[in-house]
Amino acid sequence: MSSPSGRFHLTLATPANEPSPRSDGSEEQPLLRVGDLAKVTGKTVRAIHHYEELGLIEPVGRSKGHYRLFDHETPVRIRWISKLQSLGLSLTEIRALVKNRQTSESAQQAAQALRRMYEERLVEVKTRLKELSALERELEASLTYLDACSTSCTPELVPTNCAQCDRHPDEHEPDLISGAMV
């Protein structure tokens, strides 16, 4: 902040876990130090520092001990970053999203860009879900096939005999089974 003399001075924020009084008498959410933020989000302190270096999060001030302090919205941003990473975005891509939002000419333009990216990811997620559902069915069929091996097979047979097994004449061998027999 600038004073009437034109000098700048640093306003120190309230340390973590101490509510800050507001001008209306109510209390603000306590500010979080990096370690507190790491605990709340399940991220490492190193990851929090990395997000800050990339400009993905910003401290709102420093404590009297010069610790970085973050507001109660920062965990929301970190959860957003984590979800985008789960969708396959790199931190560089996430950084570009943040920068695009900050430099967009309007909120509507920023929202449209975010929407396009989310639509693309939704298509990818739906495709992946279909692939995972097919894999789930394949695993279930394989387990059913292997259950029959547990009850029909004899201990004296060696694994190389499985390829010529006649104990499953009616069943189609799932790829997870036939691939193991080769």
Residue 9 C-beta-side C-alpha neighbours within 13 Å: 7
Decide: 68 and 81 in contact? Cβ < 8 Å: no
In sequence order, what are the residues at sequence separation of 6 or more whose Cβ sits closer than 8 angstroms to the Cβ of residue 22? 28
User: Which residues, in sequence order, are bridge partners of residue 69?
Assistant: 61
Pairwise CA distance, residues 71 & 78, whole Å: 12
Domains of the chain and CATH, by start: 9-103 (1.10.1660.10), 123-182 (no CATH)
Pairwise CA distance, residues 71 & 126, whole Å: 35
> Which residue numbers in the chain have pLDDT < 50?
1-21, 23
Q: H or E stretch including 69?
A: strand 68-69
The whole-number pLDDT of residue 39 equals 96
Which DSSP state fits 56?
S
Phi-psi region of 154 (alpha: psi -120 to 50; beta: other; left: phi over 0): beta
pTM of the entire predicted model: 0.69
The whole-number pLDDT of residue 5 equals 44
Decide: 57 and 77 in contact? Cβ < 8 Å: yes
What value, to the nearest 5°, has the Cα angle with vertex 81 and ends 78 and 84? Answer: 150
The whole-number pLDDT of residue 171 equals 66
